[in-house]
Amino acid sequence: METIECRREQQLPCALIDCVTEAVSSTFASIYGREPQKKDNGSAEVVGDGVLGIISLVGALQCSIVLGLPRETAKAVTAKFAGFEIDYEGPDMGDVVGELANVVAGDAAGRLESRGIKADLSLPTVARGNDVEMIQQGNTTSRLVHFECTGGSFWVKISAETQAGARN
User: Please, what is the Cα angle at 82 between 80 and 83, to 5 degrees?
Assistant: 65
Number of Cβ atoms within 10 Å of the Cβ of 97: 27
C-beta of 15: minimal distance to other proteins in Å?
14
Nearer to other proteins, 87 or 133 (CB): 87
C-beta of 75 vs 111, nearer to other proteins: 111
Binding site for other proteins (CB under 8 A): 27, 30-31, 81-83, 86, 92, 95-96, 98-99, 102-103, 105-107, 109-114, 118, 121, 123
Other Cβ atoms within 10 Å of 17 Cβ, number: 16
Cα gap 131→94, rounded to integer Å: 17
Please state the closest distance from residue 43 (CB atom) to other proteins, in A.
Answer: 28
> How far lies 76's CA from each of 29, 44, 72, 88, 124, in Å?
14, 22, 6, 10, 20
- Give the separation between CA 23 and CA 44, rounded to whole angstroms: 21
Closer by beta carbon to other proteins, 72 or else 95? 95
Q: Are 85 and 79 in contact (CB under 8 A)?
A: yes
Beta carbon nearer to other proteins, 42 or 83: 83
Question: Whose Cβ is closer to other proteins: residue 20's or residue 86's?
Answer: 86
Query: CA triplet 22, 23, 24: central angle to 5 degrees?
Result: 90
